[in-house]
Structure 1
Amino acid sequence: MNNLIDKLSRKHNLSYDELYFLVKNSTKESSNYLFEKARLISNQSYGYDIYMRGLIELTNHCKNDCYYCGIRKSNRNAERYRLTKEQILECCNAGYKLGFRTFVLQGGEDFYYNDDIMADIVSTIRTTYPDCAITLSLGEKNYNSYKMLHNAGADRYLLRHETANNDHYSKLHPSTLSLRNRKKCLYNLKEIGYQVGCGFMVGSPFQTIECIVEDLIFIKKLKPHMVGIGPFIPSKDTPFADKKAGTLQMTLIVLSIIRLMLPEVLLPATTALGTIHPKGRELGILAGANVVMPNLSPKDVRKKYMLYDNKICTKDEAAECRTCLQKRIENIGYKLVVSRGDCKYI
């Protein structure tokens, strides 16, 4: 097993069969070796710097009905909200004072935020904070919409592909959504010039080892600038309410493999990791992650943006989140830095 990990560390690639064997047969001992190698590669690429992104959850309205998502259209228990442009700018202002140099505008696919409204918001943030990166995570759009938002000043776009297997995709989403279009969006974003992020949930319902390997191969082929990997966590208001959550161990294994496959990729230690384990984000960093995403959203709306149950940090002020994370990260020998934190290969 360690020979395979060494090969991945050197060549940054493995065959389908080798990846399958590595994922399926990982032991505690081999996993620790994998984490060590991934941590070394991450340190070689980014040192001990951890980049922070300020997350602004601007809306929990969504036209889609994805079976795993707590803000899905059919969830009548969701208390819906939308942030105004002024509220979004207040979040940016507070975040900038705390040292954030990337703002992530995330939300459901909400018809209210049309291209003109979003371009105006993005343009204002760009003018007000010219030294900051603007990341959008607003779902599937057409080429012209993506282009308009990029022209307005957006630098990055996060769009989790969720699974690279068509059959699996159809079990997670209604028939109105397709993996083909999801992938098309990702390639459109790259063509336009965004720094692009994809990703998937580890342990999602009906996921097999074959699915995970297909995801890894797709990610290697796409060569995104960012990869968001977190455990599946069920939401009580979805058809998957009774499904088991993904495990910490498998999530860390996948994180480390991606770090070894793409040494310079930006790899978050997600809030979902911190939700399933008290030190999940720290363990993610020690497995090769180099990004954290504290929440800058107004405190009164955080509990309404519930993609999954028991999400952490919904009651803390932004400054409290930043201070807490800084201490946690320093305790494992890393440091939060004031930086845009661009990918090394843009």
Structure 2
Amino acid sequence: MRRLIDRLAAGERLTEAEYAALVTGFTPELAQYAAALADDARKKIYGNRIFVRGLIEVGNRCKNDCYYCGIRRSNATVPRYCLTPEEILGCCAEGHALGFRTFVLQGGEGCLSLETVCGLVRRIKRDYPDCAVTLSLGEFPTEAYRAMREAGADRYLLRHETADPAHYRRLHPASMSFENRMRCLRDLKALGFQTGCGFMVGSPFQTPQSLAKDLKFIEGFQPEMCGIGPFLPQKDTPFGAYPGGSGELTCFLLSLLRLMHPHMLIPATTALGTVDPHGREKGILAGANVVMPNLSPTSERKKYALYDHKICTGDESAQCIACMRARMASIGFAVTVDRGDIIL
């Protein structure tokens, strides 16, 4: 197995079967070996810098009904909200004062109209020309993505969730299409967005072969960003009784992603910090180089409940950036709040 990891670190492409072998052959010792190589690869490009993004969860209204998601349309137990443009701009003002130079607008699909999104992007880029704007608002037609790009959006995050079409169909209702998700990602790349994808680790019905397809897809697609995190159940969804994913396996896969594409921007996700109190630190040590503290109004954070027990106070809060700096410094890294663009 180490030989496969050495080949990955040397810039070789692996077959899908070889990626599956790495997943099935996962051990703590193998993960430690991969993490050391990934850490070295990341430091050669980014040094010990960790980029921080200001996350604004703009609303939890969603037209989709994904079986794993706590804000799915059919979940009648979640109190819904959608921030006004003024509230979103207020979050940006607070974030800019705190030093943030990237804002991530994330929300349920259909929560904000295209006109509102484009207006917000233009306003943010006008008021804060030194900042990058990242959108994570789901699937849109090609022309809608084009309008967002022309308004000034720099990046777009759209997790593909699984690159296995059969697995995708078991995670989503028939109204959602694997082919359309992939079309969206291709569109985003073609339009010049810094494009991010990603997947869950340990989602229901996932196999090592499914994860191998994810790794092979990312190898070929070459996104600028890739976010992965352990699956965490939400009690009011069809998958509420399923076990959560492994933080250890997630970190191992983070290392493989770093070795596959050393320049990629890879977050240590909130889900990783939820499954393990030291999860984000472990993710950074495994090769991640981004964290996304929350700039959303504190009154709304618990309502954006994608999964149960999501951390909503403490170091994930943008207001506690000093705490985040201390935690990263304790493992030898320095938080930087500049735009944090990919270095190629």
TM range, smaller chain: over 0.9
Identity percentage over the alignment?
54
Instruction: Report 1:5-20 matches (<5 A).
Output: 5-20=5-20
Alignment match, 1:145: 144
Alignment match, 2:202: 203
Residue by residue, what CA displacement relative to the aligned partner does 1:39-81 show, whole Å, maximum 9, x if unpaired?
1111111110000000000010000000000000000001000
Q: Is contact 2:315-2:321 (8 Å) kept?
A: no
Q: Is contact 2:68-2:239 (8 Å) kept?
A: yes
**TM-score, normalization by structure 2:** 0.98
Q: Secondary structure at the match of 1:11?
A: coil
Letter of the 1:275 counterpart? T
Paired residue total: 344
Q: Is contact 2:292-2:316 (8 Å) kept?
A: no
Letter of the 1:340 counterpart? R
Structure 1 gaps of 5+ residues are none
Alignment match, 1:59: 59
Residue by residue, what CA displacement relative to the aligned partner does 1:100-122 show, whole Å, maximum 9, x if unpaired?
11000000012x52211111111
Q: Is contact 1:302-1:315 (8 Å) kept?
A: no
Structure 2 gaps of 5+ residues are none
Alignment match, 1:191: 190
Alignment match, 2:303: 304
Q: Distance in 1 between matches of 2:232 and 2:271?
A: 7
Alignment match, 2:124: 125
Q: Is contact 1:299-1:316 (8 Å) kept?
A: no
State the shift of 1:319 in Å: 4.7
Q: Distance in 2 between matches of 1:317 and 1:169?
A: 30
Alignment match, 2:41: 41
Q: Distance in 1 between matches of 2:82 and 2:27?
A: 45
Report the more deviating stretch, 15-24 or 85-94. Answer: 15-24
Report the more deviating stretch, 313-322 or 327-336. Answer: 313-322
Q: Distance in 2 between matches of 1:240 and 1:322?
A: 34
Letter of the 1:30 counterpart? L
Q: Is contact 2:66-2:171 (8 Å) kept?
A: yes
Alignment match, 1:116: 115
Residue by residue, what CA displacement relative to the aligned partner does 1:304-329 show, whole Å, maximum 9, x if unpaired?
00000101134779454322211110
Alignment match, 2:237: 238
Q: Distance in 1 between matches of 2:288 and 2:339?
A: 16
Q: Is contact 2:69-2:234 (8 Å) kept?
A: yes
State the shift of 1:2 in Å: 1.6
Alignment match, 1:344: 343
Letter of the 1:207 counterpart? Q
Letter of the 2:149 counterpart? H
Q: Distance in 1 between matches of 2:150 and 2:52?
A: 24
Q: Secondary structure at the match of 2:198?
A: strand
Q: Secondary structure at the match of 1:343?
A: coil
Q: Secondary structure at the match of 1:83?
A: coil
Alignment match, 1:50: 50
State the shift of 1:164 in Å: 0.6
Q: Is contact 1:66-1:173 (8 Å) kept?
A: yes
Q: Distance in 2 between matches of 1:3 and 1:319?
A: 41
Instruction: Report 1:69-88 matches (<5 A).
Output: 69-88=69-88
Q: Is contact 1:186-1:196 (8 Å) kept?
A: yes
Q: Secondary structure at the match of 1:180?
A: helix
Q: Distance in 1 between matches of 2:238 and 2:140?
A: 26
Report the more deviating stretch, 44-53 or 315-324. Answer: 315-324
**TM-score, normalization by structure 1:** 0.97
Give yes or no for the alignment of 1:271 onto 2:270: yes
